[in-house]
A = this chain, B = another copy of it.
Amino acid sequence: MADDASRQNDVQRLLQEIRETLARNRLVEGLVQRTHQPHQALVENIVHRQNLALLASRLDNLHAADIAHILEALPLDERLVVWDLVKSDRDGEVLLEVSDSVRESLIRVMDSDELVAAVGQLDTDELADLAPDLPDEVMQDVFSALPVEEREQLRFAMSYAEDSVGALMDFDLVSVRVDTTLEAVYRYLRRLKELPDHTDKLFVVDREGRFQGILPLKKLIVSDPSMVVSDLMPRDVVSFRPEDKARDAAHAFERYDLVSAPVIDEQNKLVGRVTIDAVVDFIRETSDTERLSQGGLREEEDIFAPVWSSVKNRGPWLAVNLVTAIIASRVIGLFEGTIEQLVALAALMPIVAGMGGNIGNQTITMIVRALATHGMNRADIRNLYFKEVKVAAINGVVWGGVLALVTVLMYGDWPLGGVMMLAVSLNFLVAALMGVTIPVLRNHFGRDPALGSSVLITAITDSGGFFIFLGLATLFLL
């Protein structure tokens, strides 16, 4: 027994030892290849084999999530050595825990038989999670080895979209009949010998398997065993349908502080349950995906991935940026004559564009958040336009004023300062209007309001800023 900090230290220490052992091993291999002292090398080799065996037994004592952590922290070749040390009956659970990109690297080195053996031990809902990463023939082998009931479950779990409750769901249900006594429930549970993880409630069904309600364990435990299940069922139960959005289910888990919740179909049949651990993983993955896409990465990147796959991962974003940058450049190109006459404009124009991009991104961030946490009706949206325009106007006067002063200090040119202030204010207004419009429109058409909004607003405030500033300069200063 140890607290979490010392447990993490143990994992880190083991990671360090693995690295050192493998580094020594590489030295020995080098020795065997390069020197004429095969005997000594052989002895050392045996020692290192023993070390590896020791590492293997220590890995075996770790939680699958900790093994996954170690695999993720190691460069590819060392990762594969450690992967070999993991007992094959734990391969499945470890594959579930590692990140997508690391999972790919592990699956690539396993042959079909190993894969079938590894994933054959998993629950059907876990199998459904891994399925997209597995070769087709492996999935076919696994599928045909399953009992009929589990085959149905697997087909069911795989039939739902990744962002639906069906994909979060598992089938580890403990259900009891509505008309039994608690005494009978206890007898039934003791016969089961073990309850699934995250069982905080039993699911209550009628004779036909139709969902009737829930029986929280904590109620079961404090109640008199002679009572009947139906007496204890709370009136208010949160349940889901398999086609519900996973995002909404996650919000419900947060709002109502759930640990598990039943999933029922149109016929009111109990088909599965969602548990908080699946929800937490979903929340974490969603926020990771958002952060990556905000940073301009297509997907999560294994830091030890080959250079070429990194180049590909970052390509799409760079391509988009290339196009928007060229458009902005062409806008400037329209005003080359103006810049030739007043070269200070070239130095000042990025300020107008950059500050506008800032305002636009601030507005979008706020609106996306508001759309995500509570819907907005027409009146709200109208109010938001008014408010954002006011905020932009005030910011335009304040920061435009500061920039006008800076311009006058740098160039001693009052009209230029005036154009600066006007351009900053106008670009702020454009940024605010588009900052509301883009996410609201995307949301209206059922798209994720966050995705790509930032690229779009920055493209608009760049090109717009250059156009407004250089256009005003052409009008008033030449």
Footprint of B on A, CB under 8 Å? 1-5, 7-8, 12, 19, 63, 65-66, 69, 72-73, 75, 99, 186, 189-190, 192-195, 197-200, 213, 217-218, 220-224, 235-241, 244, 248-249, 252-257, 259, 261, 264, 276-277, 279-281, 283-284, 287-288, 290-292, 294-297, 300-301, 303-304, 307-308, 310-311, 314, 317-318, 321-322, 324-326, 328-330, 332-333, 336, 339-340, 343-351, 353-355, 358-359, 361-362, 364-367, 369-370, 373-377, 379-380, 383-384, 387, 390-391, 394-395, 398-399, 402-403, 406, 410, 462, 466
* CB contact between A303 and one of B186, B257, B384 (< 8 Å): that residue: B384
| Whole-angstrom distance between the Cβ of A17 and the nearest chain B Cβ | 13
Flag if A195 contacts B220 (CB, 8 Å). no
| Whole-angstrom distance between the Cβ of A25 and the nearest chain B Cβ | 15
Residues of B with C-beta under 8 A to A317: 358, 362
Query: Closest B-chain residue to A365, C-beta based?
Result: B295
Flag if A380 contacts B303 (CB, 8 Å). yes
* CB contact between A403 and one of B65, B223, B322 (< 8 Å): that residue: B322
Known: A217-B217, A296-B365, A303-B366. 14 other contacts (CB 8 A): A1-B213, A63-B256, A65-B255, A69-B373, A73-B375, A192-B222, A194-B222, A217-B218, A280-B283, A283-B284, A304-B383, A307-B390, A328-B354, A340-B343
| Whole-angstrom distance between the Cβ of A436 and the nearest chain B Cβ | 11
Residues of B with C-beta under 8 A to A248: 4-5, 8
- Can you name 27 A-B pairs with beta carbons within 8 Å? A3-B241, A4-B240, A4-B261, A5-B244, A12-B375, A189-B221, A193-B222, A195-B221, A198-B257, A257-B277, A259-B259, A288-B369, A292-B365, A292-B369, A294-B365, A303-B376, A307-B390, A307-B394, A314-B395, A318-B399, A322-B403, A325-B354, A329-B351, A332-B346, A333-B347, A336-B343, A346-B349
Flag if B395 contacts A318 (CB, 8 Å). yes
Residues of B with C-beta under 8 A to A296: 358, 361-362, 365
- The CA-CA distance from A296 to B353 in the complex, in Å, is 16
| Whole-angstrom distance between the Cβ of A90 and the nearest chain B Cβ | 15
Residues of B with C-beta under 8 A to A321: 354-355, 358
Q: A301-B366, A358-B321, A394-B307 are in contact. Are A374 and B3 (CB under 8 A)?
A: no
- The CA-CA distance from A49 to B358 in the complex, in Å, is 46
Flag if A221 contacts B220 (CB, 8 Å). yes
Residues of B with C-beta under 8 A to A237: 1
Query: Closest B-chain residue to A389, C-beta based?
Result: B307
- The CA-CA distance from A227 to B410 in the complex, in Å, is 85
| Whole-angstrom distance between the Cβ of A458 and the nearest chain B Cβ | 9
| Whole-angstrom distance between the Cβ of A445 and the nearest chain B Cβ | 20
Residues of B with C-beta under 8 A to A383: 75, 304
- The CA-CA distance from A130 to B1 in the complex, in Å, is 34
Flag if A297 contacts B362 (CB, 8 Å). yes
* CB contact between A254 and one of B190, B284, B353 (< 8 Å): that residue: B284
- The CA-CA distance from A288 to B236 in the complex, in Å, is 30
Q: A221-B186, A257-B198, A276-B259 are in contact. Are A374 and B73 (CB under 8 A)?
A: yes
Residues of B with C-beta under 8 A to A304: 383
Flag if A318 contacts B355 (CB, 8 Å). yes
